[in-house]
Structure 1
Amino acid sequence: MEIRQLRYFVAIVDHGSLSRAARVLHIVQPALTQQIQSLEEELGTQLLHRSAQGMQATEAGKIFYEHAQAILKQISDARSAVTQITDSPSGTVELGIPQSVSAALAFPLLKAVRESYPDITFQLTEELTGNLTEQLRSGRLNLAILFDDGQLSGFHTQPLVEEDMMYVTRAGSQFACKRKSIRLDQLVRAPLILPSLQHGVRPRIEQVLREQGKSTEQVIEITSIAILKSALLADMGATILPVSPLLPEILRGEMVAVPVSDAKLSRTVSLCSSKNIPLTNAARAVAKRVQEVTRQLVSSGDWPDVKLLT
């Protein structure tokens, strides 16, 4: 198996066409076809099939595509690591960020990295937490913002903040709390709009409820922050989330957030990297900026209801 074969295969999947991939790769189409056939013979399986939509990956091809991407990225990172100048880092850095942290951190971080390191190509990936974990483990991401749920032992971790979670409803909702805080036994009686168990804040919420001998009665599972907001504004239920992704609606008076009085509902937000794949100088520079920007956002109050850990 050759590196060029991986590049050829990824290009075909990305462009959905042998002819377009051949043009981008500056290779004649028969030679490209021959290389892919040779790759499939070596692997003993079909990676691509032709459909009305063009060339598409088979199920085996989809799995191989993820690995090929990770390998090509690590090769690129290795090349950058030995050629870049330490005091002027360059290269591509990909950082994954969960939807519920993106509202507070993404734009300030993007702006700070562009201003400080113009030679770094900085790519932000907004994804569900479970997906980010797998992408970081496979090497497709250099860095990721993850929640410390006790499952991060396979990564280098730098805790950033401890973020309080609140009980949030639409203003004037039938599920709104009449007091300045809410108890767990009241909270669990409302229909709750929460992410699935594999993602986000849900495992932490379920852990706290188990410790208190309680469980949710009705759960509407929505993993998209945008859809979750719409469901809240439609008064389909309440949610338990940090305020940062809902802050614009709270400041406009469209939503109301109150703390939980009889349990500690919070999550630790950490900056993570692989223990097996070394960081490039560029990735280390971005990691440093993540910590600096986090401190700035907390001290200015732009990331509310958090305790600084970095």
Structure 2
Amino acid sequence: MKHAYPGIVPLHKLRAFEAVAQHGNVHRAAQVIHLSQPAVSRAVQQLEDTLGTALFERTTKGMTLTEAGELVWRRAQRALRELQLAESEIRSSADGSRGVVRSGRLGEVITERMLCALVAIARHGGESAAAAMVRVTQPALNRTLRQLEELAAVALFVRSGRGTRLTDAGETLLRHAKLALAEIRVAGEELASMRGRLNGQLVIGALPLSSGYLVPGAVDRTLRAHPDLSISIIDGTYATLSYGLRCAEVNVIVGALRADDQEPYARHEPLFTDSLNVVVRAHHPVLRRGTLTSLRELCDEPWVLPLAGTPSRGAFERAFRAEGVEPPQVAVQANSPSIVRALLLSSDRMALLSTRQVQQELQQGILRVVPVPVSVPHTQRRIGLAYLRDSEPSPAMTAFLVALRQTAAAA
């Protein structure tokens, strides 16, 4: 199968490699994973050929990992552990609905074909499009999905006239499958980095404040130093980006941080504390009033409010309530920086924003800050980055994090 992850190595080779790395010789490894010694030796040699580097130093006393081998072993352990965690979570939630999942079976037998078929069907929701994605016939894809479901011993898919969707168990397996595939991909990137070439892929989730200057500045620094990297920047609500983070579709989120106890799976690193100001278009009528004494004077003005549930919305509401008044009624809500700017520039609406979000517009004189006292303690937000707590950053992500910290420090 020519699958959607062309850089992935076969899982049976990774299992053979991991067993030899753990036990130090082919004989013991073959006993543990129930293969012949020639099969284990062949799998390890093929893996070395595929990766283009020696993973072991072979001596009469056994096999010792090389520097490259240590690197691959660490990523292989993490990838295989994700598959074991998937099985454990599925088994604990199956509640005996279709019998007991055979312990260790899923993690030990699942193949890269199955993982890629799972990712494809989840992405497209139809077997025809999924088969095209992984470059197999639809009957072949269907067989692979049924084999995967039999191996899991629980229902992973719900098929209907509208297509195929994943069950809760299927979603659990999908999340861990993506994490496992990401670990395998990063192993290749780390090997390339060892050879002096930093390449690879990085997906950055940019929240409203960071998309204006922080992320673009850090990306520019990163690519100047490492032009072979491929970086994608996506925006969206925190909930969307957070889901992507948990599935390894997003490597890091940059913007206003949420409370630590709301995200036990994420590690937070604050970069700075930001506060908000009232921003309007140049020549807005409110600017003719001169210096205002309180936000109370702006309660009846038309506003663009941040989306409910965001740190910006919380800061907006706290700022007005600190003045002893209720926040203005919701008329327009938006989180997209470009939409907020367009609404401000084309109307007499106002918004409570960080000046960092509209730095260029303020410098150009097309937006202005309204001279009104805003209770700074009530509008402060932690701006920083979030990434998976149990993850180990790739070389590409490490380079970006260095650039991001430098950009934040220079702001």
- Shorter-chain TM-score bucket reads 0.7 to 0.9
Q: Could you tell me whether the CA contact under 8 Å between 1:170 and 1:176 is conserved in 2? A: no
Cα gap change, 1:276/1:210 in structure 2, threshold over 3 Å: closer, same or farther?
A: farther
Please point out which of 387, 392, 398 is paired with 1:284: 398
Q: Could you tell me whether the CA contact under 8 Å between 1:40 and 1:47 is conserved in 2? A: no
Give the whole-Å Cα distance in 1 for the aligned partners of 2:363 and 2:190: 48
**Residue 149 (structure 1) shift:** 4.4
Residue equivalent to 1:122: 231
Residue equivalent to 2:375: 263
Question: Of Structure 1 and Structure 2, which has the larger fraction of its residues in strand?
Answer: 1
Give the whole-Å Cα distance in 2 for the aligned partners of 1:179 and 1:69: 59
Unmatched tracts of structure 1, length 5 or more: 299-310
Unmatched tracts of structure 2, length 5 or more: 1-105
Cα gap change, 1:47/1:9 in structure 2, threshold over 3 Å: closer, same or farther?
A: farther
Residues 53-202 of structure 1 mapped to structure 2, 5 A cutoff = 57=165, 63=171, 67=175, 70-77=178-185, 79-80=187-188, 83-86=191-194, 88-151=197-260, 154=264, 155-176=266-287, 178-180=289-291, 183-202=294-313
- Whichever residue aligns with residue 182 of structure 2, its letter is Q
| TM-score (norm: length of structure 1) | 0.77
Q: Deviations over 1:121-149 (max 9, x none)?
A: 32222222343334334443222113134
Give the whole-Å Cα distance in 1 for the aligned partners of 2:367 and 2:142: 56
Give the whole-Å Cα distance in 1 for the aligned partners of 2:252 and 2:372: 32
Give the whole-Å Cα distance in 1 for the aligned partners of 2:178 and 2:289: 51
Whether 1:240 and 2:352 are equivalent positions in the alignment is yes
Q: Could you tell me whether the CA contact under 8 Å between 1:91 and 1:121 is conserved in 2? A: yes
Larger deviation, residues 107-116 vs 153-162: 153-162
Cα gap change, 1:215/1:92 in structure 2, threshold over 3 Å: closer, same or farther?
A: same
Give the whole-Å Cα distance in 1 for the aligned partners of 2:363 and 2:116: 48
Give the whole-Å Cα distance in 1 for the aligned partners of 2:344 and 2:167: 37
Identity %: 19
Residues 5-16 of structure 1 mapped to structure 2, 5 A cutoff = 5-14=114-123
Question: Of Structure 1 and Structure 2, which has the larger fraction of its residues in helix?
Answer: 2
Residue equivalent to 1:36: 145
**Residue 35 (structure 1) shift:** 1.4
Larger deviation, residues 276-285 vs 146-155: 146-155
Cα gap change, 1:48/1:103 in structure 2, threshold over 3 Å: closer, same or farther?
A: farther
**Residue 114 (structure 1) shift:** 1.9
Give the whole-Å Cα distance in 1 for the aligned partners of 2:211 and 2:173: 27
- Whichever residue aligns with residue 278 of structure 1, its letter is E
Higher RCO (CA 8 Å, separation ≥ 6 residues) = 1
**Residue 44 (structure 1) shift:** 1.6
Cα gap change, 1:26/1:133 in structure 2, threshold over 3 Å: closer, same or farther?
A: closer
Task: Compare CA radii of gyration and give the structure with the larger one.
Answer: 2
**Residue 228 (structure 1) shift:** 2.4
Cα gap change, 1:146/1:231 in structure 2, threshold over 3 Å: closer, same or farther?
A: closer
Q: Could you tell me whether the CA contact under 8 Å between 1:100 and 1:245 is conserved in 2? A: yes
Cα gap change, 1:274/1:71 in structure 2, threshold over 3 Å: closer, same or farther?
A: closer
| TM-score (norm: length of structure 2) | 0.60
Larger deviation, residues 69-78 vs 279-288: 69-78
Cα gap change, 1:207/1:6 in structure 2, threshold over 3 Å: closer, same or farther?
A: farther
Tell me the secondary structure at the aligned position of residue 145 of structure 1.
Answer: strand
**Residue 166 (structure 1) shift:** 1.3
Cα gap change, 1:90/1:97 in structure 2, threshold over 3 Å: closer, same or farther?
A: same
Give the whole-Å Cα distance in 2 for the aligned partners of 1:251 and 1:225: 17
Tell me the secondary structure at the aligned position of residue 197 of structure 1.
Answer: coil
